[in-house]
């Protein structure tokens, strides 16, 4: 200690002495500092560190997939979400980790590519972590705070897929199966989905089961179920959200069932809507309800105050009497003076968009693609986008001039549902029953489907979101 003043030597000695004395308690102090104690940091991240980050790090992110943290893993790869919380079976990352098709469909190539595969224990550690919600260290389930969401029914999987609006990533599957746990036997077939005007709830029609289920839109948990009779297709909420109008798409029922949305009980049924009502529209004041009669080529107007009914035919004079129009969806024009009706068509007729003037009863036919299904307006209501199931396209119709101003090709296989967000993005579900344009494996599991996101500013598909079988109805909460 040469050169140090004696009082400094003393201070150093005291510090050393104190350090020795406090060793046990200091150790305790250290262990009190919050450590990465969550299951992810303790058990899952080390597996990725050992086997994956070599090729999936920020500097070398193969397929733009980064596996160095919970946050980056949850951002997925260039192909979208790699993890769906609670569903290891349908998490693409999990499908790359093993070859056991009883655990999940298997996606080649096996990861880590060209190395020894993970042990069964490592595979099951990742399985269990996803099954428990893919939680972060502080117990957070990915996207649990997400407000803006897109719901897409996966009709042949008894699930509703949920897309996070901000990132465009698939964030959840909601189980709407008979016994829970994705038992598809018998299929209940979620067909259509709608969000209440106050954004608190969403409703899904189980067309094979004859029920409508109500979900809390914040937590996506089941609130109540109601039995509404055979084949519930479309659902509309009254402007004050007190009533649901549900079409019974059945040639033996032929009615609209009215449900008290609070108690989830049937209040009333409409006079006959012959035959097979499907699409529904409601005037802004909530008084006039329009329904397509799919099997009789007419549109019905129901006055909800008097329950009187008017009908509008779809056939123009001179058109063949053998032709079936099969009207699917109906929407009111922005000024509520006209009806826009998608007609699926039949073997002799490709279908079209028919515009009925409610005053003059004039019918105009606009040639869109084949078998048009669902449609929606741009936020400024200047254009109408129509999903054409049998030509894999979306038609853009100028609402004022009533002409097709653009056709967006190769949207996916069999576009069905369509909804446009307030920022001008079109969400189109593709049934994908006769093909699939994604990269998920379809062996050893359910046939996959997609939804496309189109930007109305460019009319380009900007994203494809892979999901499960038969994507159909689409609804946006924002």
* DSSP labels, 50-94: HHTTTTBSSSSBGGG---SSHHHHHT-BTTB-S--TT-GGG-HHH
- Contact between 228 and 243 under an 8 Å Cβ cutoff? The reply is no
Question: Least distance (Å) from ligand HEC to the CB of residue 440?
Answer: 8
Which of 78/478 has CB closer to ligand HEC? 78
154 near ligand HEC (CB under 6 A): no
Figure out which of the listed residues 38, 40, 44, 52 binds ligand HEC, where binding follows CB under 6 A.
52
Nearest to 446 by CA among 458, 436, 454: 436
Tell me the C-alpha distance between 449 and 318, whole Å. Answer: 40
* 332 scored as a contact of ligand HEC (CB under 6 A): no
| Contacts of ligand HEC in 72-111 (CB under 6 A) | 77-79, 82, 92-93, 96-97, 109, 111
Rule CB under 6 A: choose which of 38, 40, 51, 104 binds ligand HEC: 51
Binding positions for ligand HEC, 217-256, rule CB under 6 A: none
Distance CA 162, CA 146 (A): 11
| End-to-end Cα spacing for the chain | 71
Q: Which residues lie across from 277 on neighbouring strands?
A: 293
- In order of 205, 230, 250, 315, the CA distances from 208 in angstroms are 9, 8, 11, 31
114 is a site residue for ligand HEC (CB under 6 A): yes
Report the residue number, 94 or 290, with the smaller CB distance to ligand HEC.
94
Q: Which stretch binds ligand HEC (CB under 6 A): 52-60, 248-256, 308-316, 364-372?
A: 52-60
Spatial separation of the C-alpha atoms in residues 458 and 101, rounded to whole Å: 41
Burial class (CB in 10 A: 0-12, 13-18, 19+), 458: exposed
Residue selected from 112, 327, 351, 473 as contacting ligand HEC according to rule CB under 6 A = 112
Of 84 and 331, which CB lies nearer to ligand HEC in the complex structure? Answer: 84
Stretch that binds ligand HEC, among 60-68, 268-276, 394-402, 455-463 (CB under 6 A): 60-68
Minimum CB distance to ligand HEC, residue 275 (Å) = 46
Provide the binding-site residues for ligand HEC, judged by CB under 6 A: 51-52, 54-56, 62-63, 65, 67, 77-79, 82, 92-93, 96-97, 109, 111-115, 118, 439
């Amino acid at each position: 200690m040469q050169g140090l003043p004696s009082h400094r030597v003393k201070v150093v000695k005291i510090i050393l002495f104190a350090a020795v004395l406090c060793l046990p308690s200091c150790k305790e102090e250290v262990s009190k500092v919050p450590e990465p104690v969550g299951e992810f940091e303790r058990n899952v991240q080390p597996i990725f560190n050992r086997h994956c980050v070599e090729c999936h790090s920020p500097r070398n992110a193969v397929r733009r997939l980064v596996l160095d943290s919970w946050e980056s893993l949850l951002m997925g790869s260039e192909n979208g979400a790699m993890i769906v919380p609670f569903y290891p079976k349908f998490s693409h990352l999990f499908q790359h980790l093993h070859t056991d098709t009883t655990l999940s469909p298997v996606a080649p190539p096996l990861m880590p590519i060209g190395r020894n595969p993970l042990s069964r224990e490592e595979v099951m550690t990742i399985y269990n972590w996803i099954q428990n919600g893919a939680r972060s260290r502080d117990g957070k389930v990915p996207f649990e705070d997400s407000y803006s969401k897109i719901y897409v029914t996966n009709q042949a999987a008894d699930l509703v897929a949920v897309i996070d609006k901000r990132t465009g990533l698939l964030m959840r599957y909601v189980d709407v199966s008979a016994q829970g746990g994705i038992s598809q036997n018998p299929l209940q077939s979620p067909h259509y989905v709608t969000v209440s005007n106050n954004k608190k709830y969403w409703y899904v029609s189980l067309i094979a089961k004859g029920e409508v289920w109500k979900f809390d839109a914040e937590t996506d948990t089941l609130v109540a179920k109601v039995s509404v009779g055979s084949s519930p297709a479309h659902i509309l909420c009254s402007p004050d959200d007190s009533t649901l109008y549900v079409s019974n798409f059945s040639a033996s029922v032929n009615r609209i069932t009215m449900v008290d949305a609070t108690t989830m009980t049937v209040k009333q049924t409409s006079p006959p809507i012959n035959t097979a009502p499907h699409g529904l529209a409601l005037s802004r004041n909530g008084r006039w309800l329009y329904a397509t009669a799919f099997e009789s080529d007419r549109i019905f107007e129901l006055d909800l105050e008097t329950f009187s009914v008017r009908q509008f035919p779809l056939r123009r004079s001179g058109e063949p009497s053998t032709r079936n129009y099969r009207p699917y969806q109906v929407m009111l024009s922005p000024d509520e003076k006209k009806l826009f009706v998608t007609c699926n068509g039949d073997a002799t007729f490709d279908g079209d968009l028919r515009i009925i003037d409610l005053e003059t009863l004039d019918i105009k036919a606009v040639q869109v693609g084949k078998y048009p299904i669902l449609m929606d307006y741009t936020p400024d209501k200047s254009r109408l986008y129509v999903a054409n199931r049998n030509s894999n396209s979306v038609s853009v119709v100028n609402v004022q001039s009533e002409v097709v101003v653009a056709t967006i090709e190769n949207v996916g296989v069999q576009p069905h549902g369509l909804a446009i967000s307030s920022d001008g993005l079109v969400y189109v579900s593709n049934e994908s029953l006769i093909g699939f344009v994604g990269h998920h494996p379809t062996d050893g599991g359910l046939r996959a489907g997609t939804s496309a996101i189109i930007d109305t500013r460019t009319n380009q598909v900007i994203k494809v979101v892979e999901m499960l079988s038969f994507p159909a109805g689409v609804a946006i909460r924002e």
